[in-house]
Structure 1
């Protein structure tokens, strides 16, 4: 089983044979026959725990209001994201460390945005929660399905968006209607990757992956939700600056 999410790449789930999807036969999991299977509850609990760490560290960074903390968070978060994404073995301490690093970065960035646009952080949090709830509802109702074509389109869009993001470092982010359109596209793209995360988690549960893989699933979901929050934060700031 291959993941369509680059974070939930085949590193951790490659041990699962393709015909294991939809079964609970743990003998199909290579070298892990005695492991308890992962459940949705495992992922929910791990994800909630990671966000609790992010919020606590983020609150500290908010009060400190130091750009240095944001830099440490971004660099540390990037390194930890790469390690967690490409490691064959799940390392919960590194996943938790990633959540803490993101807390440093997001806490500082959120403070900077909120100083410029009072109340924007609360608006962004609510909007992110609504977007997640809407996507979850659409996925569970079957209105959005992850197909091979859908996955290819999303991955192609992600590559293009990353290239554009790197380019803006040198040329700056576009303003006006173009900037607004790109921001809306970023929110939509991040939202659709939540669908891919949910599909991967559901397939992993159906395949009976080991319980420790719930850390990997929670990590992947956190990466996408953090991305979505940042996109929403930028979109709202553009909308408010045009008032």
Structure 2
């Protein structure tokens, strides 16, 4: 869709309705539909005095021949008027992606996420933790598969949503047990950030400009490097804090994770802007309807990321009290 937008949308063929093939060129003076019969005008013009359209004016046509205003055979004048008064075919009629398609499919993905999260609430804590790990690893693999897959697969996208539901459900259950109420606060925060971002995008005040895209990529790479280092240090036992360097290091008495969390939430919000831009350009360009699944997948990935950053930031703030 949008070049330089969300990486999930890059590399896809978003061409819309196909165009009619061009008329083949023909030598000058030849009939394009065959050789010029003897006696016919080679330039497509009727001989002097003859009707150039092959029909006589209305009311002057010889018997058995149609004149001007004569409806085609088998159609009444009322049927013709109804045919010409019909509204033009819209995107949904021609198999092109619409905003409604994206909304419906995104809602389906989020519903599967919620369903997967709900499963972790009705199983023992050990099972919920296992589901969280399976969801994190499986979701990461399917995220890569769906990102690099040229044609969207609804089954794989919904499977990704279900695995992410396991991950988010297990994570929320653990953190909400440590800091009661943090899960609901994270849901409200995710909805609020998404709503504000959408309003800013619709107002035109925030756009995915090339300059903003460069800043986003630099900040995203820096954040990814920090997250990787922090994860390795936690796995190797170099730090004992449950959030690693995020709470182990403080700046002016404030945990480093607060600054990192605010940066990550800002990056996730800008990723939503990129998603909205890609979807808008895809609809405008007449992308095929099947790519509404790609748009829904991109939004789901961003919303999952946003929720994780918000609930982690809230947990760090609650743990610092």
Q: Which residue of structure 1 aligns with residue 182 of structure 2?
A: 120
| Aligned residue in 2 for 1:239 | 317
What is the CA distance between 1:170 and its match in structure 2?
Answer: 2.3
Number of the residue aligned with 1:52? 111
**Structure-2 change in CA distance of 1:198 and 1:116 (3 Å):** same
Unmatched 5+ residue regions in structure 2? Answer: 20-92, 234-243
Aligned to 2:96: 37
Is the 1:62–1:110 contact (alpha carbons within 8 Å) kept by the matching residues of 2? no
Residues 150-191 of structure 1: CA deviation (Å, up to 9, x unaligned)? 112112211111111101012323323222111111111111
Which residue number corresponds to residue 27 of structure 1? 18
Shift of 1:218: 0.3
Provide the C-alpha distance between the structure 1 equivalents of 2:260 and 2:116, rounded to a whole number of angstroms.
30
Answer 1 or 2: which has greater helix percent.
Answer: 1
1:70 aligns with 2:144: no
Q: Which has the higher contact order (CA 8 A, sep 6+)?
A: 1
Instruction: Confirm or deny: 8 A CA contact 2:265 2:309 kept in the other structure.
Output: yes
Aligned 8 A contact 2:5 2:208 in 1? no
Does residue 180 (structure 1) correspond to residue 252 (structure 2)? The answer is: no
Root-mean-square deviation (CA, aligned residues, Å) is: 1.6
- TM-score, normalisation: structure 1: 0.89
Give the distance between the partners of 1:3 and 1:148, measured in 2 at CA: 8
| Structure 2 counterparts to residues 10-25 of structure 1, below 5 A | 10=11, 12-13=12-13, 15-16=14-15
Q: Which residue of 1 aligns with 2:271?
A: 193
Name the SS of the counterpart of 1:63 in structure 2.
Answer: coil
Unaligned runs of 5+ in 1: 17-24, 29-33
2:70 matches 1:8:
no
What is the CA-CA distance between 1:62 and the residue it aligns to? 2.5
Q: Quick check: 2:194–2:272 contact (8 Å CA) kept in 1?
A: yes
In structure 1, C-alpha distance between the alignment counterparts of 2:289 and 2:218, rounded to whole Å:
31
> 1:144 is matched with which residue?
206
From 150, 156, 167, the equivalent of 2:229 is 167
Tell me what 2:292 maps to.
214
Other-structure match for 2:25: none
CA distance in 1, matches of 2:145, 2:94: 23
| TM-score, length of structure 2 as denominator length | 0.68
What is the alpha-carbon distance in structure 2 between the residues aligned to residue 88 and residue 7 of structure 1? Answer: 10
Give the equivalent residue in structure 1 for 2:160: 98
Q: Distance in 1 between matches of 2:155 and 2:179?
A: 35
- In our comparison, the structure showing a higher alpha carbon Rg is 2
The Cα offsets for residues 176-220 of structure 1, whole Å up to 9 and x where unpaired, read as 322211111111111111111111110111111000100000000
